[in-house]
Structure 1
Amino acid sequence: MNTIINYLDNMFASLPKSAEMRHLRDELLANMEEKYHELKQVGKTENEAVGIVISEFGNIDEIIEEFGVSLEEDRVTNPLLTEVEVEEYLNTTRKSGRWIGIGVTLCILGAAMLVLLLGVIENGYNEISSETGTYLGLIVLLLFVAIAVGLFIYAGMKLEKYKFISFEGDFDLSMDLKNKVRAKKDAFQSTYMIVMIVGVILIIFSPIVLFTMMAFNENTANFGVCIMLVLVSIAVYLFVYFGNVYAAYEKLLRGKSKRTNEREEDRVIGAVASIIWPLVVIIFLISGLVYDQWHINWIVFPVTGLLFAMFSGAYSILVRKD
């Protein structure tokens, strides 16, 4: 099969590098690949199959005339990504997804540490006053948030190089490279589905732990909240990391026209997220410091997470429908 690809590349090497010509080359490769596999299935040897396919290829000038392809260069053409560039993009996306997932997890764990520290003090640990414990918990929370923000910035800087892929869609893939990316996506599909199911189970199971602990002993409510938030943080990490990897495959396979709507979708959802999450942290701190509601104000995080997920899903459906 590599012989056919090389033969086709050599035939198109002297022709203009236009979008029409790339499309013609990819279409011919798909037809030749299909014919090659058909010949192999009927018992032809490798050399026989390759020879028949190439002999049936015909004259390149006749094919160009038949398809009505222009020999003039496009004034503006999207860059054709190489396999090395695609692998670098996927690797960078994996690493950035890992840092973003860790950052979001740290934000949730910071709140969990605060609740845990208050629970330890309320259950008889008198070495630290309630006020001191609150300030210590807030210091840990703000430290975790500061680290998370640093990770977000670092991940964003790493992905800036591939903005033309993730947000603009100004690129093209050859047919054989697109098939390789599609094969990798299909292989990753089962892992992605399993991880998403595990994440949903953790989200559903997390409040059960809290209610179970409260049913046996109300004094353990803080510890139940801490465990619940830890389970939620694990689920969120799975969603962010594996969701990023899966989205990278989809962005490589989608065309520029589809990315136009997605850019608007990403912009709106990102703008809402940049407002809603800092607002949630402000509400959390005010309700705790001013009204001393540390025992219940943690609920703003899971509730906001669910509402934001509902908004994101509904908005995406409406945009893509249009």
Structure 2
Amino acid sequence: MDTIKTYLDGLFLAIPETKKSQQLKTDLLANMEDRYLELIEEGKSENEAVGTTISEFGSIDELLEELHVETKGQAYQQSNEQPREEAFFAGEPIDVEDAHHYLEVRKRAALMISSGVGLIMVGLGALILCSSMYEEILGVLLMFLSIAIAVGLFITGGITFSKINKELDDRVIAQETVHFVQQEKATYQRSFVFCLVVGIALCILSVAPAIVYSLYPYIESYGASIMFFMIGLGVVLLIYGGINQGGFTKFLTDRIFIADEDELGPQAKKHRHHSPTYAFIAGIYWPIITVVFFLWGFSGIAGGWATSWLIFVLASGVFNAIRGALGVRDR
């Protein structure tokens, strides 16, 4: 029934908080919950009961008109004061088309950023390889070229992220949009697992060429360059999959789209489910885990790369425990 409550909260965001509107909301919630329980008793599944209940009650526009309850937009137009600022504050709800566009743009930006990181690793591998062939100048040129391209990709990807986030920032997420994103997330899950498993596997196995080629003194540098190539590809998959997965979370964690966790908009501050403590932890948690992963792998402690991937399994469980302790949950 949390979905029903969330749906009603979204409908009433545009309605001023008065005794009349609060009473109307309470009555509607009670009626919808009663109807939901009736459907459950009839043998409907939870999803079917929620969908049927919402579709039967539908829009509340006619009911608001009968009870003479004004929306924020109507009240503002009547007062005729600063209409442009009110329009910006309220905004249009994020519909399915908006969400689809956001996910596609985020996917392109993720490819740019992950490719940039991969190019830097490839540049280092090329430098080592060329040095072993006594082509140091060529190696340096290739490394700086890869870094230059990577910086360009970082800037372009960052600008793309910033632009699409600002378009949706502090806007209400429509309920049908939530259902759409949930379906997209389920569809993407297999790709995300592939990126995670193959990316981690490449990082772990990257030490194998270095070990094998170390047995042959004249070509041991080949092993080091291949190691960087493999790590580069593995990191590309991990970053690409992680950024895309994070895009779904943007729509499923809160009722309001939040572009920047450190600068919440007016509506986000008012309706945010979780505390600033969670926002701070979420912002630094996974970057720290990624650093620990690489330090563990390169250090050789407790098996090095052979066991360092376990950090992600452990970190996921700890993160979910933190979310639960702070009262944060997906919609």
Shorter-chain-normalised TM-score: which range?
A: 0.5 to 0.7
Task: Judge which range, 169-178 or 29-38, deviates more.
Answer: 29-38
Q: 1:85-164 counterparts in 2 under 5 A?
A: 85-121=98-134, 133-164=135-166
Match of 1:170 in 2: 170
State whether residues 26 and 175 of structure 1, in contact with CA within 8 Å, keep that contact through their aligned partners in structure 2: no
Supply the RMSD in Å over aligned alpha carbons.
Answer: 5.0
Deviation at 1:181, TM superposition (A): 0.8
Secondary structure of 1:161's counterpart equals helix
> In 1, Cα distance between the equivalents of 2:13 and 2:245?
34
**What's the offset of the Cα at 1:173?**
1.6
CA contact (8 A) 2:16 2:70 kept: no
How far off its partner does 1:71 sit? 5.4
1:251 Cα shift? 1.2
SS in 1 for 2:119: helix
Secondary structure class of the residue paired with 1:220: helix
Aligned AA for 2:132? G
C-alpha contact (below 8 Å) 1:261/1:319 kept by paired residues: no
1:162 partner SS:
helix
Check 1:261–1:27 CA distance in 2 against 1; reply closer, same or farther (3 A cut): farther
Provide the rounded CA distance (Å) in 2 between the counterparts of 1:27 and 1:170: 29
Q: Decide whether aligned partners of structure 1 residues 208 and 259 sit closer, same or farther in structure 2, where only a CA change above 3 A counts.
A: farther
- Alpha-carbon distance, 1:220 to partner: 2.0
- Quick one: distance in 2 between partners of 1:83 and 1:171? 13
Distance 1:213 1:31, change over 3 A: farther
Measured against aligned partners, the alpha-carbon deviations of 1:106-151 in whole angstroms (never above 9, x if no partner) come to: 1000000000011223xxxxxxxxxxx3233122111110110001
Q: Highest CA radius of gyration, 1 or 2? A: 1
**Alignment CA distance shift 1:115-1:50 (3 Å):** closer
Extract unaligned runs of 5+ from structure 1.
Answer: 1-7, 43-48, 65-69, 122-132, 277-298
Tell whether the 8 Å contact from 2:105 to 2:160 is kept in structure 1 after alignment: yes
Residue number in structure 2 paired with 1:194: 194
Residues 59/257 of structure 1: CA separation in 2 closer, same or farther (3 Å cut): closer
Correspondent of 2:94 among 81, 90, 93: 81
In structure 2, runs of 5+ residues without a counterpart are 1-6, 46-50, 74-85, 255-271, 300-304, 327-331
2-structure distance, mates of 1:27, 1:210:
66
State the SS of the aligned residue for 2:195.
Answer: helix
Q: CA deviation at 1:36?
A: 7.5
Q: Distance in 1 between matches of 2:30 and 2:224?
A: 57
Summarize the Cα distance change of 1:141–1:18 in structure 2 as closer, same or farther, 3 Å threshold: farther
AA at the equivalent of 2:14: K
Give the letter aligned to residue 122 of structure 2.
L
Instruction: Give the residue type in structure 2 aligned to 1:156.
Output: G
TM-score scaled by length of structure 1: 0.60
Q: Give the structure-2-normalised TM-score.
A: 0.59
2:266 aligns with none
Please give the alpha-carbon distance, in whole angstroms, between the structure 1 residues aligned to 2:59 and 2:282. Answer: 46
CA contact (8 A) 1:96 1:156 kept: yes
Aligned-partner residue type, residue 141 of structure 1: M
**2: CA distance, partners of 1:172 / 1:34:** 28
Checking the alignment, whether the CA contact within 8 Å between 1:110 and 1:144 is kept in structure 2 is: yes
2:234 — aligned with what?
235
Identical aligned pairs, as a percentage? 19
Question: C-alpha separation between the residues in 2 aligned to 1:258 and 1:207?
Answer: 42
SS of match in other structure, 1:171: coil
Deviating above 3 A after TM superposition, structure 1's stretches of 4 or more consecutive aligned residues are: 18-21, 24-42, 57-64, 74-79, 256-272, 316-322
The Cα offsets for residues 203-233 of structure 1, whole Å up to 9 and x where unpaired, read as 1111022102213x12222100111111111
Corresponding residue for residue 293 of structure 1: none
Q: By how many angstroms is 1:250 displaced?
A: 0.7
Within 1, Cα distance between the matches of 2:284 and 2:102? Answer: 24
State the distance in 1 between where 2:223 and 2:235 align.
Answer: 18
- Flag the structure with more relative contact order, 1 or 2, with Cα contacts below 8 A and sequence separation at least 6: 1
CA distance in 2, matches of 1:271, 1:184: 25
